[in-house]
Amino acid sequence: MSERNTIVRGMHDVGLAAWFGGSLMGAVGLNGATAKASDPTERLRLSSLGWAKWAPVQLAAIISHGIGGLGLIAGNTGRLTAQPEARSNTKVKLVITCIAGVASLYSGFLGGVMAKHAEEGAEGVTEPDATASKKLAAAQRKQRVLQWVIPLLTGTLVVLASQQGEQQRPLAGLLRRGKR
């Protein structure tokens, strides 16, 4: 039986890369650029349109990452049993992945609220105008935080995945020496 997990590792890594990169680009590029629109009602409308286009890709990335992660756990049960540090890393990654997933879904919900109130206009995409309704202003304030929390969480997952890659080396070396 093959010891390779190329397909699930690819799903895990590419899904995470798209999730992290898309979230960061959205916060910096999309929200930053649309906040410069001269018409205050265009700021939320354009940002909402961009995020709505990205949402199916983001969802596919999250699902791919999750399936890949579960596949890696299933494919590495022996290593997780033998290496307490790999087991700890996996538990931390699972918790952070769940938090990032919930944050992403909630951010999408808030984006929907903001889109419904786009005609109210805004100072910026995540900065309410003085005349904004309470519902819009609350959604924008929460979104201002989440737009940075999601890349922070997914970036942390990238680092933890790198750490797991480093943890595989000693075990792989021991296995190769034992087969000689």
Place of tokens 């756990």: 73
Range of the domain at 101: 6-179
Asked whether the predicted pLDDT for residue 165 surpasses 70, the reply is: yes
Which amino acid belongs to residue 49? Answer: L
Asked whether the predicted pLDDT for residue 172 surpasses 80, the reply is: no
Q: Is residue 117 packed enough to be buried (19+ CB in 10 Å), middle (13-18) or exposed (0-12)?
A: buried
**Cβ 119 vs Cβ 48: under 8 Å:** no
- 94 within some domain: yes
Cα separations in angstroms, 143 against 2, 128, 170, 173: 45, 11, 42, 46
Segment 58-79, tens digit of pLDDT: 999 999 999 999 999 999 898 8
| Mean pLDDT, the chain, whole residue set | 91
- The pLDDT, as a whole number, for residue 1 is 40
151 compared with 166, residue with greater pLDDT: 151
- The pLDDT, as a whole number, for residue 167 is 73
> Which residue, 90, 83, 20, 14, is CA-closest to 6?
14
Structure tokens at 25: 């680009």
- 105 within some domain: yes
- 1 within some domain: no
- The pLDDT, as a whole number, for residue 164 is 85
- 82 within some domain: yes
- Our count of domains for the chain comes to 1
**Cβ 73 vs Cβ 65: under 8 Å:** no
Confidence of residue 171 (pLDDT cuts 50, 70, 90): low
Report the C-alpha gap between 58 and 76 in whole angstroms.
Answer: 27
- The pLDDT, as a whole number, for residue 15 is 98
DSSP-assigned letters across all residues of 56-123: HHHHHHHHHHHHHHHHHHHHTHHHHHH-HHHHHHHHHHHHHHHHHHHHHHHHHHHHHHHHHTGGG--S
- The pLDDT, as a whole number, for residue 4 is 79
- The pLDDT, as a whole number, for residue 173 is 52
Segment 12-37, tens digit of pLDDT: 999 999 999 999 999 999 999 999 99
- 71 within some domain: yes
